[in-house]
Structure 1
Amino acid sequence: MPIKIPDDLPASRVLEEEGVMVMRETDAVRQDIRPLRIGLLNLMPNKIKTETQLARLIGSTPLQVELTLVRLTDHVSRHTSADHMAAFYRPWDEVRAERFDGFIITGAPVERLAYAEVTYWDELCRILDWSQTHVHRSFNICWAAQAALFHHYGIEKYELPEKASGVFPHQNLAPNSPFMKGFSDDIAIPVSRWTELRREDILRAGGLEILAESEVTGPCLVHDPRHHALHMFNHLEYDTKTLADEYFRDSQAPGGAKLPFNYFPGDDPARKPANVWRSHGHLLFGNWVNEMYQTTPYDIDEIGRA
């Protein structure tokens, strides 16, 4: 089944060229079926690239998904045109009375700031609390995953001596988890962050399960049953060239940038990297959508009422 997104969203053309089934709004209304409603709170600067990456993954399952793009109410994006935001994004204050089968919150380039210093921290905390009554399953990525675990459990983040960047080997710690179904024992996963959460702090909080972990970069994926959430610190949604784009951007900053680990063939930035994580990205999001579908109420208004 296809993903239902706005007719003119730039991601539509990209996904159709890749063979992802896209259903136009005008066609979706003719089907007598309840699609899964998934909201995406996109905190990344390049919103078009991020919405395309995530729509690609949630649109590759056998289920019909209706994607709602959400923005912070008062925060103004400096990197995406106002026309795009006005055409495709709804402020959270406008959707807060609605219910969603799934809700995704992306990372943001603020991880080196203390949480209280982030200008939209108070609103994000309200959104995390709202997700407990209006969302069936949450998926928090990178900084949003760290922020959620700090908000719910007080788990601190620690700044790394240098940016963790590259494609690192990870171990599947929970092959019996419904979210890890079909995963290999070893998984190559893109990492791009300046901070980390530590294993001992996560386990000390109680009730959290680490599903995937790297010996080099630490915990990667955490299941949080109490808050019906997955917390992913890394980036299975990344395109093949995303780490390259970040490297070339960071190279222009004072001090330059270290080559991403295990990414460019022969550590030569002139050579095209190979995408060795794509299948696991589809698996993870497919498993998350399937678990959501298996457990969500048929009447969407019943979400959060139990």
Structure 2
Amino acid sequence: MPIITPSSRVLPSYSKLAAEGFAILTHERATTQDIRELHIGFLNMMPDAAFTATERQFLRLIASSNQIAQFIFHPFTINVEKRSPEIQQYVADYYDDFEQLKLEGLDALVITGANVANKNIQDEDFWEPLKEVVDWAYDNVTSIFCSCLASHALLKIKYDIDRQPLPEKCWGLFNHTVSDPTHPLVHGMNSRFDACHSRHNEVSSDAMRKAGLKVLVESEEAGPHLAVSEDGFRIIFLQGHPEYDTISLLKEYKREVMRYVSGDRGDYPPFPSNYLSLQSQAILEEYQLRLTNAMTNGTELPEFPEKHVTPLVHNSWQDTANAFTNRWLGQVYQTTNVDRTKQFEDQLDPNDPLGLYSGK
């Protein structure tokens, strides 16, 4: 959260800190701000199996990031796929209506990933409904936070950038470097940190920069993790998964093993990169041997050793994910209008809301 300068005898250090990228508010601006809760929209496009789990992941990420500000969470969804009766009822009972949210306004919007069945995202059933949400949000919401496939979708919608297929899935835990430590969204964070990825496609740093986007965090192994739109703030692109829990990748690995068992996958899945300890790998390799023997011999299949591996999995990314989310929400808090139907404070330039280029 920002430091507020006093009305008189302002320390020279404040201007130096501001030049370094720290959030410094003048006394005049601080006393004229109207402080209220933030209204955060949550567009959940995940398939039924991960629908509520993803909802909880993002709730944890937001709740853990800031202990001072107050947030009201507005979940909603669009026509992504045929939903089960249970999820349809869940949405009817607990989710908001997008048309009503448009009337009331939102301060920020989080968009999840989704399952895809086509090579081109624009061939998916959710494409037109998603475009409608994005077109409205871009001109009415202070900032849009995109996770994984949502980033690829918005890069296509706003910049006509096509994601490219990878020779093999980018899956696991990868080390990243902050490319621009002066940007308010990453200023003061660790200059190197881990982040989770799970995707078959990517948009490269070169493609992003060529379109005028600012790449803030990238990895030699996994490519760009975090980038922002040319204005510095209105769209946040994350190719990784800051919302992932400690065992999210383990759950994905288990799902792939079960796909192998059911015949939906031809090969036995590899381990997620850089994620499992040697002890965990040994347990899972022993399980693989027993499983394949049981499948060959037609005997009872062994239970996946999730309860044995889970205590051995460590989390090396959550602190940084929380720190980034805190910075994002802090900037939303400082720039959004007290009137939820307006995008920014009246004096701010929508093309440079953080004053990164105008020097304000």
Q: TM-score, normalised by structure 1?
A: 0.84
Runs of 4+ with >4 A deviation = 73-76
Cα distance in 2 for residues equivalent to 1:225 and 1:131: 16
When Rg is computed on C-alpha atoms for both structures, the one with the higher figure is 2
Return the alpha-carbon distance in structure 1 between the equivalents of residues 123 and 272 of structure 2.
Answer: 29
Q: Secondary structure at the match of 1:181?
A: coil
Between the aligned partners of 1:105 and 1:145, the Cα distance in structure 2 is 9
Q: Give the strand-richer structure, 1 or 2.
A: 1
How many Å apart are 1:73 and its aligned residue?
5.2
Q: In the alignment, is residue 166 of structure 1 matched against residue 172 of structure 2?
A: yes
CA, structure 1 residues 167+80, in 2 after alignment: closer, same or farther (shift >3 Å)? farther
Which of residues 282, 299, 306 in structure 1 aligns to 2:339?
299
Q: Find the partner of 2:62 among 42, 58, 62.
A: 58
Task: Tell me which moved more, 86-95 or 277-286.
Answer: 86-95
Is 1:187 the counterpart of 2:193 in the alignment? yes
Number of positions where the alignment pairs a residue of Structure 1 with one of Structure 2: 274
CA pair 196-73 structure 1, distance change in 2 beyond 3 A:
closer
CA contact (8 A) 2:108 2:143 kept: yes
Q: What's the counterpart of residue 34 of structure 1?
A: 36
1:142 equivalent to 2:148? Answer yes
Aligned residue in 1 for 2:327: 287
Deviations 1:91-147 (A, max 9, x none): 423423331110000111218631222111011111111112221111011000111
2:45/2:80 contact within 8 Å kept: no
Structure 1 pair 80/210, CA: closer, same or farther in 2 (3 Å)? farther
Which deviates the most, 86-95 or 228-237?
86-95
Does the 8 Å contact 1:134/1:303 carry over to 2? yes
The answer for the alignment partner of 2:218 in structure 1 is 213
Equivalent runs, 1:116-131 vs 2, <5 Å: 116-131=122-137
| AA aligned opposite 1:216 | E
Residues 1:264 and 1:79: Cα distance change in structure 2 (over 3 Å) = farther
Deviations 1:57-115 (A, max 9, x none): 21231200000001115754349622221111124234233311100001112186312
3-state SS of paired residue (1:230): strand
**Is the Cα contact below 8 Å between 1:170 and 1:214 reproduced in 2?**
yes
Contact 2:174 2:274 in 1 (8 A): yes
Report the AA paired with residue 213 of structure 1. Answer: E
1:176 deviation in Å?
1.3
After alignment, is 294-303 or 74-83 more displaced?
74-83
Question: Which structure 2 residues correspond to residues 210-249 of structure 1 after superposition, within 5 A?
Answer: 210-226=215-231, 228-249=234-255
Seen in structure 2, the aligned counterparts of structure 1 residues 256 and 94 have a Cα distance that, compared at 3 Å, is farther
Q: Residues 114 and 153 from structure 1, CA distance in 2 versus in 1: closer, same or farther, beyond 3 angstroms?
A: same
- Distance across 2 between alignment mates of 1:97 and 1:106: 22
Instruction: Classify the secondary structure of the residue corresponding to 2:103.
Output: coil
TM-score (norm 2): 0.72
- Contact 2:42–2:110 at 8 Å: present in 1 too? yes
For structure 2, which runs of at least 5 residues remain unmatched after alignment?
1-33, 260-264, 285-307, 351-360
Paired-residue identity, %: 30
What is the alpha-carbon distance in structure 1 between the residues aligned to residue 315 and residue 118 of structure 2?
Answer: 28
Q: What corresponds to 1:259 in structure 2?
A: 271
Which residue number corresponds to residue 81 of structure 1?
87
